[in-house]
Structure 1
Amino acid sequence: MFRIIWVISINLRNFMRRFMPTNILLDAIRTRRGLKWGVPAMLLAIPYLFAASTCTALIDGGASRWLYVVALACIWNALKFIAIGPVSVALLVWQRRFEQRLDRQRQASLPAQINA
Structure 2
Amino acid sequence: MLGFIVSGVARVVAALNRYLPSLRLIQRVVHRRDSHKWGVPAMLLAVPYFLLANGFKSILEEGGHSLLSVPLLWCLVMGIAFVALGPIGLFLLAKCRVQEVRARRKLSRVGAERRR
Shift in CA distance, 18/110, structure 1 to aligned 2, threshold 3 Å: farther
Q: Per-residue deviation at 1:101?
A: 0.2
Instruction: Spell out the pairing of 1:31-50 with structure 2 (5 A cutoff).
Output: 31-50=32-51
Match of 2:53 in 1: 52
Give the counterpart letter for 1:52 in structure 2. A
Say if 2:107 is the partner of 1:109.
no
Structure 2, unaligned stretches of length 5 or more?
none
Q: How big is each residue's C-alpha offset from its partner over 1:28-62, in whole Å with a ceiling of 9 and x where there is no partner?
A: 21211111110111111111011011001111222
Match of 2:73 in 1: 72
Q: Per-residue deviation at 1:72?
A: 0.2
Seq. identity, %: 30
Shift in CA distance, 2/94, structure 1 to aligned 2, threshold 3 Å: closer
Structure 1, unaligned stretches of length 5 or more?
none
Give the counterpart letter for 1:20 in structure 2. L
**Number of equivalenced pairs:** 115
Cα RMSD (Å): 1.7
Tell me the TM-score normalized by structure 2: 0.88
Tell me the TM-score normalized by structure 1: 0.88
Q: Per-residue deviation at 1:9?
A: 1.3
Give the counterpart letter for 2:109 in structure 1. A
Instruction: Compare 55-64 and 9-18 and name the one that shifted more.
Output: 9-18
User: Which has the larger share of helix?
Assistant: 2
